[in-house]
Structure 1
């Protein structure tokens, strides 16, 4: 906590210096809230003849950084859960805990679509008498794999190796079904309050059948249950999966105390996104860090010195604090860890470092490298 406070103080101070230097008024229009979706697309499936509505949320810098490809998070039941998922991932990205994502919400098009009937048909793996129109998960899996995903990866700069599937209730049931029947479709699985009661607890059999032929499961999986939901069945699946000791599996079971079937979702999605995409600092050779070191001008007559300390970059001294850490989160990407303020180095055409950029409340701040 102290480190975060220090970072915020530091960045706020930079902001005050830079604002005074540039003498620009703050644009109050930036307080517009979260943009929950940039585009709505429609896809008519040739496999099941259904019309799907796809809600697309793109990263803030999507149009500027035209060479970058982004991880994609697919959320089922987008008619209910898209805005919650988008909000969660944007807040996490603001804290620099995850990278920017493309979020794709899958719903249904048409006038007054019967969501209950359509989702029951798509998301349930078998036909049961008490659920009319059930049992087409296998066909919907093909729609997802051969139509929706290729469409998204053709139309957008979507990475094909950092996909996530998320769903609650029947959506969680289907996400678990995909995990053990079409494992290579996604890298991450967010399974929230899944309907493991369905068809005499058939979901446990899917896992058992998978384990008969596979001892490896290359996936990040989080299973989340509200403590007021069907936590006993969810815990049973968690123990069953954990007992296998699958190679390559990063599995977590989480219970949200005091929450039930629908209310769990907002917390569960945040937990799931973090489990799937959490950024962790990486170690960079000190020889590669040297080019970032030097003095950067805050204001006339005032500068900060960036050095190397304990294997990572650090602000040597500022307002009585020493060796404030700047962590590498990817090759050439850095962050003052745990804050919502980016920390990026600017380069010239030859790759030399000429300054650094940050921002506060969307107001850009640039510091020139002076030595």
Structure 2
């Protein structure tokens, strides 16, 4: 028995170890001439993509920021929901990953923020959201359109925190870039509320904002000094900021803007994303 156990142990030790792979996904590299950095996008194709090739069916596209975390989570939620009775419309999922070789925090702080708050410090850059928006529009979009049967007339943006800050920048710069925006816990506090300034500037020169916007935030993302629960935010009231921003947009009476919001109970900034993306998937892809 000792010999068998030893042999078994040796066999187990010699067995090759395979990394876990997400079935039906691809990783594509996109060297950016705009940003002078290399990026990867993660692509998940719908179940019917291969079998529908003969029909040339095209699919709407969901673009998600912070792909390293959000991409596998969205795939799991979608499959869980679709496999248990609620059929969501099929779509292509494109995860926007971080710059190759960059720390994720450094990459997102630089690419998702609209203004420079670090006075151009080399190791802590911020404020390149406009360049990153152009990278998505002029380099990612053409790549997706050329390589996949994507319905580029139906593009959905989703992000959380700084990812939603990027989404707001796009909304206030080129709102027609995406048809729908799922914006979770947008960091409207950033740079002393600079997005409110951008909104005023947009309103001063535009009569319409052609987009559908769904904003979500966790109830604990408010500031509540009278409640000792440590899950409440200590400094920035993101619930109040979201409602204020929504009211501001509604007050403009843009004819082609649809916007609504939701506060998700019992969720804070670190726990809210699974709940908000589930609601976002239903909003964008549930059967009408």
TM-score range, shorter chain: 0.7 to 0.9
Q: Write out aligned runs for 1:229-308 (5 A).
A: 229=221, 230-280=238-288
Aligned mates of 2:212, 2:87 — CA distance in 1: 17
Which ranges of structure 1 fall in alignment gaps of 5 or more residues? Answer: 1-33, 281-371
Aligned mates of 1:92, 1:162 — CA distance in 2: 22
Q: Name the TM-score, length of structure 1 as normaliser.
A: 0.63
- TM superposition shift of 1:108: 2.6
Q: Write out aligned runs for 1:48-59 (5 A).
A: 48-59=35-46
Q: Specify the SS of the correspondent of 2:171.
A: helix
Aligned residue in 2 for 1:178: 170
- TM superposition shift of 1:35: 5.1
Rg comparison, structure with higher value: 1
Q: Specify the SS of the correspondent of 1:86.
A: helix
Q: Specify the SS of the correspondent of 2:27.
A: strand
Q: Specify the SS of the correspondent of 2:88.
A: coil
Aligned mates of 1:176, 1:37 — CA distance in 2: 31
- Relative to structure 1, is the Cα distance of residues 242 and 91 closer, same or farther in structure 2, using a 3 angstrom cutoff? farther
Aligned mates of 1:162, 1:267 — CA distance in 2: 23
Please give the per-residue CA displacement for 1:77-118, whole angstroms capped at 9, x wherever unaligned: 00111112222333444445531010000113545x301111
Aligned mates of 1:43, 1:258 — CA distance in 2: 39
Q: Considering fraction of residues, name the structure with more helix.
A: 2
Aligned mates of 1:200, 1:58 — CA distance in 2: 40
Q: Specify the SS of the correspondent of 1:181.
A: coil
- TM superposition shift of 1:214: 2.5
Contact 1:89 1:101 in 2 (8 A): no
Aligned residue in 2 for 1:3: none
Report whether the alignment pairs 1:145 with 2:153: no
Contact 1:93 1:99 in 2 (8 A): no
- Relative to structure 1, is the Cα distance of residues 109 and 127 closer, same or farther in structure 2, using a 3 angstrom cutoff? closer
Q: Considering fraction of residues, name the structure with more strand.
A: 1
Please give the per-residue CA displacement for 1:191-236, whole angstroms capped at 9, x wherever unaligned: 1101111111011122222222323222111010111112111111
Aligned residue in 1 for 2:90: 100
- TM superposition shift of 1:152: 0.8
Contact 1:42 1:109 in 2 (8 A): no
Aligned mates of 1:160, 1:262 — CA distance in 2: 32
Q: Write out aligned runs for 1:199-238 (5 A).
A: 199-229=191-221, 230-238=238-246
Q: Name the TM-score, length of structure 2 as normaliser.
A: 0.80
Please give the per-residue CA displacement for 1:128-164, whole angstroms capped at 9, x wherever unaligned: 1388200111110110000011101111000011101
Report whether the alignment pairs 1:128 with 2:136: no
Aligned residue in 1 for 2:77: 88
Q: Specify the SS of the correspondent of 2:186.
A: coil
Report whether the alignment pairs 1:191 with 2:180: no
Aligned mates of 2:220, 2:174 — CA distance in 1: 30
- Relative to structure 1, is the Cα distance of residues 89 and 134 closer, same or farther in structure 2, using a 3 angstrom cutoff? same
Q: How many residues align?
A: 246
Aligned residue in 2 for 1:311: none
Please give the per-residue CA displacement for 1:234-290, whole angstroms capped at 9, x wherever unaligned: 11112112222221222110101111112110011111122223321xxxxxxxxxx
RMSD: 1.9
